[in-house]
Amino acid sequence: MKQISVKSYKPRGFIGRYQHLIKDEVIPYQYEVLSDNIPDAEKSHVIQNFINAGKALGGEAAGDGFYGMVFQDSDAAKWLEAVAYSLAVFPDKALEEKADRLIDIIAAAQDADGYLNTYYTIKDRNKRWTNILEGHELYCSGHMIEAAVAYYEATGKDKLLSVMEKNAGHIYDVFIKGGHKGYPGHPEIELALLRLYDVTGKEKYLELAKHFIDIRGVDPHYYEKERQSRDWTVWNGDGRNHEYQQSAAPVREQRDAVGHSVRAVYLYTAMADLAAKTQDGSLKKACENLFESITKRRMYITGGIGSTVHGEAFTTDYDLPGDTVYAETCASIGLMFFMAKMLSVSAKGEYADIMEKAFYNTVLAGMSLSGKNFFYVNPLEVVPGISGKAVTHRHALPQRPGWYTCACCPPNAARLISSFGKYAYSEKGDTAYCNMFAAGEVSFENGIHLRCETEYPYGFTVKYSVIKGGKIAVHIPSWSEEYKLTFSGRGTKAVINDGYAYMQVGDGEEITLTLDGGVKTVYPSSKIPALSGCAAIMRGPLVYCFEGVDNEGDVLSLRMIADSEKTALREEILGGTVTVTLQGIREKTADGLYSLKKPVREKVRIKAIPYYMWGNRGENQMRVWLPEA
């Protein structure tokens, strides 16, 4: 039986504040960017591309033509999806009307046969479906399908859903009826088609998603043959890097997470969802192998994935440098997608652990506290003058820009944060699952209704008031070495299984979970060469980092006395947070590039802040891992 998202979630607390930020600041700001109304932001042209495509289809001159990346349409789709999730929580007539107007513009850009892509409609309609490797037609369709499903579920309006059903029907005709041999260069549509199947119940969408998953890698040389058949490219890709394209073998034979990290986890998300829907044991086993590869050998402490700027990709086991890391925000968002679907395959706490790690660290770090600046890359070490400057570190910016030419991450973060309830809570049969701790009220399709009170991730008491009872499963995070569960109901007991506490509770009962809020020292595997002799600190799900602004402007000279007493203190910096101070050592070296003189050491108190908050107080040094004294 599949695991489904909840009926409704009304947020409060930490998540509520973030979702208000998305509604009040991020969504309006991003719309203005998409409309090219922010002077100091990178030009987007997304909305104008759709307007121009509609003109081209109507026989008019296409205005100022197409501008942007081949996947530019997807920014509008992700913005609409974020709007949908926001409207589900915070009804807003003016915002809904703005979204409806954009949907009208998108609908007018759809060709008569259902095709929808502004790049090809404006630039060259004869090139449609001839460059599956680089063209992103299926990717853009996938994101727009996701937006259509979300908007229909939030508002009941089906205009965009009808547009995308027509588009999916066209894709079905091309790839199933027409026999096109291609499979997505950038996986996305697979997971979107499965969402479309969920909301419509139409088997052809399940069939099409399964086709794209099953055919992938069966002919590893497909992209090479495609390249030889045409005389144009987008990025001069030749299709020969099979691992980079996740096409070196059929998906059921893939064991290691390889290639472009975002594409990988989007593909794995669809594989896990299909495995859950069809009870495909071989697909389930492949997903478990890929989970092990990512989380046991190729993932950063922050839940970041993708070690290198070269192809935004995974590299090899234990290659996890902190200063040249890529760790794209979208990749950690995709990792959350994957973990949510793995929970639908098997309700195991380890999947919720990784989902939580990715969210509270890399995903939140991808956006400034103001909601108007964004990281594409999430380094674990920054040194101004090197980071963002040296050719090897140019991608690792020390400050968040307002927007990007390739702006996949900002609207992706907006849609993820707005839909947090879908990941925090889920249900499977008669059981309501609490996967992550989110204050507020949640209603499940199976009738269970809960109210959660918590100051998480800074407070570690989580209280559930049961408005309508039933069978509940509460995740016990693996980072909490000790925990306590108490119940108001007489005779209520919990059975612990695979990281979840299962209990039957009645109306009016209360459940209180108390977790370990101590500061922990984390040591890396000795197999990670970049981290020899280093340590990091965590409190709850939050990874901490050291910024120069809190440490005399210099963290490079610091060492951590890891067994020293660590003090967690709530402070009014960065809008209010909990800092951690501990004993450290500062090394003062002699002048010159190198010296025969031993550094002078002095004991100092050093301070750390949650990693997701770094980079909000100007340009300065930052490190997650410090050498241990």
- pLDDT tens sequence across 282-304: 999 999 999 999 999 999 999 99
Provide the pLDDT confidence category of residue 186 given band limits of 50, 70 and 90.
Answer: very high
Question: What tokens appear for 269 in the block?
Answer: 């998300």
Of 515, 544, 568, which residue is a domain's last? 515
Residue 1, pLDDT score: 36
Q: What is the mean pLDDT of residues 67-88?
A: 96
Q: Render pLDDT for 353-412 as a digit per residue (tens, 0 to 9).
A: 999 999 999 999 999 999 999 999 999 999 999 999 999 999 999 999 887 777 788 889
Residue 402, pLDDT score: 84
Closest CA to 299 of 278, 319, 282: 319
- DSSP labels for 533-576? TEEEEEETTEEEEEEGGGTTT--TTEEE-TTS--EEEEESGGGS
With b for 16 or more beta-carbon neighbours within 10 A and e for fewer, the 464-497 pattern comes to bbbebbbbbbbbbbebbeeeebebebeebebeee
Domain identity same for 483 and 508? yes
Of 485, 515, 545, which residue is a domain's last? 515
C-alpha to C-alpha distance for 538 and 518, rounded to whole angstroms: 9
Provide, rounded to the nearest whole percent, the portion of the chain with pLDDT above 90: 95
Q: Give just the sign of the alpha carbon dihedral 126, 129, 131, 137.
A: positive
Domain identity same for 605 and 547? yes
**Residue 525, SS3?**
coil
Of 468, 483, 515, which residue is a domain's last? 515
Give the phi and the psi of residue 128 in degrees, each rounded to 5.
Answer: -55, 135
Domain identity same for 450 and 542? no
Residue owning tokens 């004991």? 603
Which domain does 462 fall in, by range? Answer: 426-515
C-alpha to C-alpha distance for 389 and 395, rounded to whole angstroms: 8
DSSP label at residue 26: I
Q: Render pLDDT for 576-621 as a digit per residue (tens, 0 to 9).
A: 999 999 999 999 999 999 999 999 999 999 999 999 999 999 999 9
Catalytic one among 140, 287, 330, 408?
A: 408
Whole-number Cα distances in Å, 552 to 198, 237, 546, 561, 586: 55, 47, 11, 18, 10
Domain identity same for 470 and 526? no
Q: Render pLDDT for 38-63 as a digit per residue (tens, 0 to 9).
A: 988 889 999 999 999 999 999 999 99
Taking 70 as the threshold, does the pLDDT of residue 623 lie above it?
A: yes
The single-letter code of the amino acid at 404 is Y
Instruction: Decide if 414 is inside a domain.
Output: no
Residue owning tokens 């508002």? 155
Whole-number Cα distances in Å, 356 to 100, 431, 542: 33, 21, 9
Residues 91 and 161: beta-carbon distance below 8 Å? no
Instruction: Decide if 497 is inside a domain.
Output: yes
The single-letter code of the amino acid at 294 is I
First to last CA, the chain: 52
Instruction: Decide if 410 is inside a domain.
Output: no
Q: Across all residues in the chain, what is the average pLDDT?
A: 96
Domain identity same for 528 and 615? yes
Give the phi and the psi of residue 600 in degrees, each rounded to 5.
Answer: -85, 130
How would you write 567-591 as a 3-class SS string? EEEEECHHHCEEEEEEEEEEEECCC
Q: In this structure, what is the dihedral angle of CA atoms 36, 37, 40, 41, given to the nearest 10 degrees?
A: -40
Residue 406, pLDDT score: 76
Taking 60 as the threshold, does the pLDDT of residue 68 lie above it?
A: yes
Residues in contact with 66: Cβ distance below 8 Å, sequence separation at least 6, in sequence order: 45, 49, 52, 53, 72, 118, 119, 122, 123
Closest CA to 42 of 34, 53, 50: 34
Provide the pLDDT confidence category of residue 151 given band limits of 50, 70 and 90.
Answer: very high
Which region among 164-173, 444-453, 483-492 has the lowest average model confidence (pLDDT)?
Answer: 483-492
Domain identity same for 527 and 510? no
Whether 408 is catalytic: yes
C-alpha to C-alpha distance for 50 and 117, rounded to whole angstroms: 8
Domain identity same for 438 and 463? yes
Task: Give strand pairing partners of 51.
Answer: none
Count of beta carbons in the 10 Å neighbourhood of residue 577: 17
C-alpha to C-alpha distance for 391 and 95, rounded to whole angstroms: 42
C-alpha to C-alpha distance for 415 and 85, rounded to whole angstroms: 7
Provide the pLDDT confidence category of residue 472 given band limits of 50, 70 and 90.
Answer: very high
Instruction: Decide if 542 is inside a domain.
Output: yes
Closest CA to 298 of 272, 268, 276, 275: 268
Residue 146, pLDDT score: 98
Whole-number Cα distances in Å, 401 to 24, 243, 596, 627: 20, 31, 42, 30
Instruction: Decide if 528 is inside a domain.
Output: yes
- Per the structure, how many domains does the chain have? 2
Instruction: Decide if 596 is inside a domain.
Output: yes
Say whether pTM exceeds 0.85: yes
Catalytic one among 312, 381, 509, 547?
A: 312
Instruction: Decide if 412 is inside a domain.
Output: no
Q: Render pLDDT for 300-311 as a digit per residue (tens, 0 to 9).
A: 999 999 999 999
Provide the pLDDT confidence category of residue 2 given band limits of 50, 70 and 90.
Answer: very low
Domain identity same for 545 and 448? no
How would you write 398-416 as a 3-class SS string? CCCCCCCCCCCHHHHHHHH
Strand segments, DSSP code E, in 146-225 are none
C-alpha to C-alpha distance for 186 and 132, rounded to whole angstroms: 9
Closest CA to 167 of 116, 118, 205: 116
- The CATH number for 450's domain is 2.60.40.1180
Provide the pLDDT confidence category of residue 85 given band limits of 50, 70 and 90.
Answer: very high
Domain identity same for 492 and 552? no
Taking 90 as the threshold, does the pLDDT of residue 313 lie above it?
A: yes
Taking 70 as the threshold, does the pLDDT of residue 5 lie above it?
A: no
Instruction: Decide if 434 is inside a domain.
Output: yes
Residues in contact with 162: Cβ distance below 8 Å, sequence separation at least 6, in sequence order: none
How would you write 338-354 as a 3-class SS string? HHHHHHHHCCCHHHHHH
Whether 312 is catalytic: yes
Domain identity same for 543 and 618? yes
C-alpha to C-alpha distance for 586 and 228, rounded to whole angstroms: 59
Q: In this structure, what is the dihedral angle of CA atoms 22, 24, 27, 29, given to the nearest 10 degrees?
A: -120
C-alpha to C-alpha distance for 305 and 302, rounded to whole angstroms: 9
Residues 349 and 478: beta-carbon distance below 8 Å? yes
C-alpha to C-alpha distance for 17 and 235, rounded to whole angstroms: 41
Domain identity same for 451 and 549? no
C-alpha to C-alpha distance for 183 and 222, rounded to whole angstroms: 9
Domain identity same for 501 and 546? no
Question: What tokens appear for 415 in the block?
Answer: 């849609």
